[in-house]
Amino acid sequence: MNQLDALKQFTTVVADTGDFRQMAAFRPQDATTNPSLILKAVQQPACRHLLTDTLAQYQGRAPDELMDRLLVRFGCEILAIIPGRVSTEVDARLSFDASATFTRAERIIELYQAQGVHIDRVLIKVAATWEGIAAAARLERRGIHTNLTLLFSLCQAVACAQARVQLISPFVGRIYDWHKKSAGAAWIEADHAGANDPGVRSVLQIFNYYKKFGIATEIMGASFRNIGQITALAGCDLLTISPDLLAALAQSSAPLRCALDAQAAQTLDIAHVSFDEAGFRLALNEDAMACEKLAEGIRVFCADAVKLDQLLSGNHP
């Protein structure tokens, strides 16, 4: 049995790509997209027709509507291949506007429903800012399920649990990147591998907290840099993995065991915490890594949203 098949025994495997052509070979349950992945995919010749078809069919519509229609078009192509759910992201430029995020998410769901897609097959992806979490809470009450992304800290995870969101996506690789850069020449890779990886440790902390207190929100590790990070999180609810790393797992026959234990987490001595807005903002501010990576992630997604706008307007970035 290869490592990918072994991993599927313990964890729901999700494909992290906008290129639906790459998915069938790995048989993932779900798939995730983001503005950067869609921007990359739409510029490939095999996917370019999704852009041209959207422009031809909805010529003259507002840029934000064209973007949402393009994202939904990609999502529908993906859903034709996978059995589960696709995550589609709200424009990152709305990350600090709860009302606008809610309205945009409703429209994305309506566009999916117009294509015959059931609401339960879509997760609306929103940055885990205070405003994003507030919008997600409102969406969940409407029966629209959410995936809170750009998550780097326990305080974000706790606030998401309080909002009863469907799923969170803690970013393993970006946490690893920050700590490696911060350490500079003092970084020793072997000392920070596997279970000692700072990104892995962050997800484990969230996993243990959620399982300790019976929190139903799903945990989906994301943003992986190597196979070791993935195998160290075998047993997490879900893991969303790039095609390159899915291929590497499929080609490896090394043994793989379940690394996370939900039952053992229930016996741990963990303090229960909760956050109001002021407490959340202070806790996030106290975590330099989380603060910096959240801001950076939003900036990158905003920049790629602008580039998508330019493509949709006919002005190539």
pLDDT digits over 89-114, tens only? 999 999 999 999 999 999 999 999 99
pLDDT value at position 176? 98
| CA diameter of the chain | 59
pLDDT value at position 317? 43
Strands 86-89 and 122-127: parallel
Q: Which two tokens stand for residue 121?
A: 């097959």
- Domains of the chain, by residue range, sit at 3-312
Range list of H helices, 95-148: 98-114, 130-141
Q: What is the pTM of this model?
A: 0.96
Q: Give the residue from 129, 47, 133, 33 showing the smallest Cα distance to 82.
A: 33
pLDDT at 192 over 70: yes
CA distance 106 to 108: 5
- pLDDT interval class at 315 (50, 70, 90): low
- pLDDT interval class at 316 (50, 70, 90): low
- pLDDT interval class at 23 (50, 70, 90): confident
Distances (CA, A) of 155 to 170, 277, 278: 12, 11, 12
CB atoms closer than 10 angstroms to residue 262: 16
Taking domain 3-312, whether its CATH number is 3.40.30.10 is answered by no
Lowest mean pLDDT segment, chosen from 19-28, 84-93, 197-206 = 19-28
Q: Which residues of 19-46 are buried (b: 16+ CB within 10 A; e: fewer)?
A: bbebbeebebebbbbbbbbbbebbeeee
> For helices 35-42 and 48-57, what crossing angle results, to 10°?
100
Choice among 125, 211, 212, 293 that is catalytic: 125
- pLDDT interval class at 24 (50, 70, 90): confident
pLDDT at 202 over 80: yes
Q: Among this protein's residues, is 125 annotated catalytic?
A: yes
pLDDT at 314 over 90: no
| Dihedral (Cα; 227, 229, 233, 236), 10-degree rounding | -90
Strands 167-170 and 30-32: unpaired
Burial class (CB in 10 A: 0-12, 13-18, 19+), 151: buried
Average pLDDT, the chain: 96
Tens of pLDDT, residue by residue over 269-305, are 999 999 999 999 999 999 999 999 999 999 999 999 9
Tens of pLDDT, residue by residue over 213-239, are 999 999 999 999 999 999 999 999 999
Lowest mean pLDDT segment, chosen from 40-44, 175-179, 226-230, 311-315 = 311-315
